[in-house]
Chains A and B, each alone.
Chain A
Amino acid sequence: DAKTTQPPSMDCAEGRAANLPCNHSTISGNEYVYWYRQIHSQGPQYIIHGLKNNETNEMASLIITEDRKSSTLILPHATLRDTAVYYCIVTGNQFYFGTGTSLTVIP
């Protein structure tokens, strides 16, 4: 079962940073935090993951709090193509998707 809580929806102005929060207060020591997104009518796409350190790749940054009970996905310069549902997943093995956050990037 999903172990994460995300806001159902968010808006972000094009060109601005999109900060998507995720609560995972019951995370275990060996569980990773993964972020995926699903653009309408497509399969989910991997974005980034982390264990306890902050991570950055070409798509996004992941900030994990010191107690690991929450995290934030940052899209530094949101574009219209970033409009999607973003899923935060906590897992040590299987991937169980929660309800996600529907991000709308506004021109």
Chain B
Amino acid sequence: SAVISQKPSRDICQRGTSLTIQCQVDSQVTMMFWYRQQPGQSLTLIATANQGSEATYESGFVIDKFPISRPNLTFSTLTVSNMSPEDSSIYLCSVDSGRNTGELFFGEGSRLTVL
């Protein structure tokens, strides 16, 4: 199984600032995904991070607000830009297992609080 490390694990930020979340995987993976989980809610897919090309965003999410980088097959970043209290959430990185099962592995998440 893939080991996924996210940084920071939690942070408290001021309104209007930006924060970049890092996701490091211990093996090369093809597919990396970013999810958001708002307080008391389920997970919502933000985007698929593609290596060597722009991320593919889900409806309701835009690159200007959530820019994503994927410089190689083991690393990705998600930036939450111009934050507001509504961005307070857990942000989770996920990767495809690489097995032909479609199984995903998830990081432990980055808990973001915007004041």
Interface residues in chain A, defined as those with a beta carbon under 8 Å from any beta carbon in chain B: 2, 32, 34, 36, 42-46, 49, 85, 87, 91, 94-100
Contacts and interface: CB of A to CB of B under 8 A. Distances in A.
A3 to B, nearest CB: 13
Interface string B90-103: 00101001000111
Interface of B: 4, 33, 35, 42-45, 48, 92, 94, 97, 101-109
B102 A43 contact: no
Given A95-B94, A95-B104, 13 more contacts: A32-B102, A34-B102, A42-B109, A43-B4, A43-B94, A43-B106, A43-B107, A43-B108, A46-B103, A87-B43, A91-B102, A94-B33, A96-B45
Name A's interface SS. loop
Contacts of B103: 34, 46, 49
A94 B43 CA distance: 13
Contacts of A99: 42
